[in-house]
Amino acid sequence: MKRVHNFSAGPATLPLEVLEQAQEELTEYQDTGRSIMELSHRSAHYEEIDKQAKDRLRSLLGLGDKFEIMFLQGGASSQFMMAPYNFLSKDQTADYIDTGRWSDKAIKEAKIFGNVHVPFSSSEGNYDRVPTQEELNFSDNPRYVHFTSNNTVAGTQFPTEPETNGVPLVCDASSDFLSRPIDVDKYGIIYAGAQKNVGPAGVTVVIIRKDFLEQADTENVPTILRYSTHVEKIFNTPPTFNVYMVNLVLKWIEDKGGLSWFKSFNEEKAQKVYDEIDADDFYRGAVEKESRSLMNATFRLPTEELEARFLEEAVEHDLYSLKGHRSVGGIRASIYNACSMGSVDALVDFMSDFRKRNG
C-alpha cells in the first residue's frame, strides 16, 4: 500500500488508524453479520454509535448539558439557509462578518429571511485578513453574529472568537473544527462539514445551545428544516456510515490528547511552513501575517510559471493537492489535524530544495 502526502482542502486526509479500523469492520460490524452500512439507524448498534459520538463531542468541547448535537446532511452550505430560517425574521437584523467566499455565500442566504448588517468586510483586499476587535462595527441589537472561523480559500483564521457582549455567535467552523479549544459559552450555533477535520464528506455536525434553540421561531419553517425536529429524535435516515467514521475520528482525537494537544501540534506544523515561506522573498504569503490560518497555508511564487512547475514537481515527490483554490490561484497546503508532521516536513524540504534550484 502506498500513502502519499495529502494536502487536500477537503475531502481531506483521514487518520490511517481510523481507515484501518473501518477497513477491518467494513463487511461485519461487531458480530452482527452485517456492515454498519446495512444496519438500521433505529438499531441498538447504531444508536450506540450516535450516543458515543455525541458524548465524545461533549467531552472534547466541554459542552456539558447546555447544548444539543445533531448529525445532519446537506453540508455546511445548508446551514447558510437553515440558521436564518430558524432564527431571523423580516423585522430582525443579524450581523455577518464577511471574511471570505463562504461568509459571502452565507450572507446571500440570510438576506432571504431578514436584515443583514456587515460589521466588517475584507472583500476589497481579496479577503487577505480577518478583523481586529476594534474594527467590528456591530448593529444596535443583532439577533446573532455569524462568522467563519477559518477561511479555506484565502487561508485566514480568527485567532479567537469575536467579542459580542453577549450576543450569540453562529459559527461556520468547517475547516478548523476540533483543531483547538474554544469558549463554547459564546456560541449559539456551531456547524461544520465533517470532511476537513472530523470525518468523510456527507455529514454536517450541528451544535446548538439549548437556551438559544428555545428562541427559534419555526411557525413557517418546514418540519425537516427545524432544528427542534432533529433534537427531539433521529427524524430521518442519517448518513450512518459517516457518523460511524466521525465517531472513530473523535476517539482518535481523544487518544492523541484532545484539543489542547492538537492546538500545539497544529501550531508547530504551521510554524514550519510559514518559517519556510518567510525565509526570503522567493515565497510570498498570500494573506496578512496576523491573520494566517493554522489549517490552510496559502502562498505565491514569483511567477505563475514557477507555480505550475512547483505543483508538477511536488507530485513527483508524492506531495498532492497543493494547488490553490481556482478563484485565487497560488499554492495552498491544508494541514488539518490528520496531516502528519512527516508530511509537513516533506513539504518544507521540497520547498527549500525548489527555492535553491529556482530562486
Contact (Cβ atoms closer than 8 angstroms) between residue 191 and residue 164: no
pLDDT of residue 327: 87
**Radius of gyration in angstroms for the set of CA atoms belonging to the chain, rounded to a whole number:** 21
Whole-number pLDDT of residue 340: 98
- Alpha-carbon distance of 15 to 252, in angstroms, equals 8
Listed in order, the ranges of the chain carrying CATH 3.40.640.10 are 16-256
3-state SS assignment for residue 164:
coil
Query: pLDDT at position 227, please?
Result: 97
- Sequence-ordered list of residues with C-beta below 8 angstroms from that of 132, at least 6 positions apart, any chain: none
Architecture of domain 16-256: 3-Layer(aba) Sandwich (3.40)
Residue 1 has a pLDDT of 80
- Which CA distances in Å does 170 have to 80, 88, 161? 10, 12, 11
The CATH code for residues 258-358 is 3.90.1150.10
Indicate where the chain has its CATH 3.90.1150.10 domain(s): 258-358
pLDDT digits (tens, 9 = 90+) for 256-291: 999 999 999 999 999 999 999 999 999 999 999 999
Q: Which residue reads 487518544 in cell numbers?
A: 255
Read off the amino acid at residue 183: D
Distance CA 301, CA 331 (A): 8
What stretches of the chain adopt beta strand conformation (E)?
Answer: 5-6, 67-72, 93-96, 115-117, 145-148, 150-151, 156-157, 169-172, 187-193, 204-209, 284-285, 296-300, 319-320, 331-334
**Active-site residue, from 54, 196, 269, 272:** 196
The 10s digit of each residue's pLDDT in 6-47 is 999 999 999 999 999 999 999 999 999 999 999 999 999 999
Q: Residues of the chain whose pLDDT is less than 50?
A: none
102 is catalytic: yes
> What is residue 221's predicted lDDT score, i.e. its pLDDT?
96
196 in active site = yes
Report strand pairing: 319-320 vs 5-6.
parallel
Contact 7, 335 (CB under 8 A): yes
Q: Which of 102, 176, 186, 323 is catalytic?
A: 102
Is-catalytic flag, 261? no
Among 50, 95, 172, 176, the active-site one is 172
Buried b (16+ CB within 10 A) or exposed e, 195-234: bbbbbbebbbbbbbbeebbeebebeebeeebbbebbeeee
